[in-house]
Structure 1
């Protein structure tokens, strides 16, 4: 997708996301958006564009680390429940409870019994969320094996993004078909009428982001909320305040003055 067309449409859609957020606050809606998919499929960069101009007190990104030893003994969905939205909140999940159907299953981090219990319970859990009024959207980001390897190599060569590359990510190259089978099985069990899976072709990141954000907006029944204009008052006359001498303050050194471009 051409950069100019992408940037113009992204700005238009991000403005609509701001309108949607205002509607969520006004109505007390609760929204959960799940971002799942292959490693290096572009989930994180899409979340960044979705949340870029939204209020972090309203729209939260949830990216949970490896469960603690205590959390491993809990009901599987328990640690995710605490991150669900209250009225007027949006939660963007950078990976979710579907870890169990993907990486945990493929890498052997859970037992077969735990895996099959998840496939049984996940639809029940999600129906409960939807029945309680939560708007639940699930997106799967797809990318080809060639493009995935290209992105891995790009991350490995970039010191600013190398942190995104983990040993598990690299192993996903050798387990491509295993992840494909796991995804297919997951869809069979959890693509339910109450909470459909929507697949995002993210081979072209610009196109994928635009398609995903446009679809997200189409699934939320929001309306533009009329906002009361805010008047900025005139600054009152000085009451005699005098700022302390500059030399008494600890200022950050002017490093920028040394930058030559």
Structure 2
């Protein structure tokens, strides 16, 4: 499959990131609250898409939420309760790297929740999201799609690459055998939770670079086209001499050479 080359991708991404920065200024100026839910297959590319969106945004304004396994206490709460505390205040943007939809996906397929809990989730999620959107929060839900053959290639890459090995968990290994079950769970989830007030958007991520560009373009097109001028701060010259560091500073090493093994 022909994929988008890096140089072409970066040339197309830069203007989109400028638009994202303008969107963030608008959110700050207007007090808008924005939530972006990122869901999809393992290896689809959620992390890369989130990085492309947040790369040049102020982390104090735009934050990523990736919650771990619930604690014993959280497991006894109303299911949506621990997600509510991460919803944005005025002017903030929150991206969920996986979200409350864990229950409709991995928890359902891997048996981490009961059938009653699963059915209850499918009934309550649209109501929960209605409450979010009725309060004025802008909610965008994206599902990232990847074919099983490409998913297997990416799993193999993670298994062989030390810098990516943290992305491969025992749950991922078990999930590889349940591609069809995940498909069925996704279809049931979409049927129950694709609503007028909180619709799903499915994006093809077989080409991750093209998928990122498509998702960002779609997100920007769904937000109000309201431009807030960028106010650049002038940088007047300093008065007096420039100060020098008074403590010992480790100097950069010009080159690194592999040392012979000891012993």
Per the normalisation by structure 2, the TM-score is 0.93
Deviation (angstroms), 1:173: 1.3
Counterpart selection for 1:22 from 25, 37, 42: 25
Give CA-to-partner distance per residue, 1:105-155, whole Å, 9 cap, x none.
111100111000000000000011000000000000000000000000001
Matching residue of 1:165: 168
Give CA-to-partner distance per residue, 1:142-179, whole Å, 9 cap, x none.
00000000000001111001000001112121001110
Are positions 1:124 and 2:127 aligned together?
A: yes
Q: 3-state SS of the aligned residue for 1:231? A: coil
Deviation (angstroms), 1:7: 1.1
Matching residue of 2:261: none
Gapped regions of structure 1 (runs ≥ 5): none
2: distance between equivalents of 1:202 and 1:191?
Answer: 20
Matching residue of 1:40: 43
Matching residue of 1:62: 65
Superposition pairs for residues 189-200 of structure 1, below 5 Å?
Answer: 189-200=192-203
2: distance between equivalents of 1:243 and 1:3?
Answer: 41
Give CA-to-partner distance per residue, 1:68-102, whole Å, 9 cap, x none.
00000000000000000000000000000000000
Are positions 1:184 and 2:187 aligned together?
A: yes
Matching residue of 1:114: 117
Matching residue of 1:76: 79
Give CA-to-partner distance per residue, 1:23-66, whole Å, 9 cap, x none.
00000000000000000010111101111001000000000000
Gapped regions of structure 2 (runs ≥ 5): 259-263
Change beyond 3 A, Cα 1:260–1:123: same
2: distance between equivalents of 1:76 and 1:111?
Answer: 13
Q: How many residues align?
A: 255
2: distance between equivalents of 1:143 and 1:124?
Answer: 29
2: distance between equivalents of 1:156 and 1:220?
Answer: 39
Per the normalisation by structure 1, the TM-score is 0.94
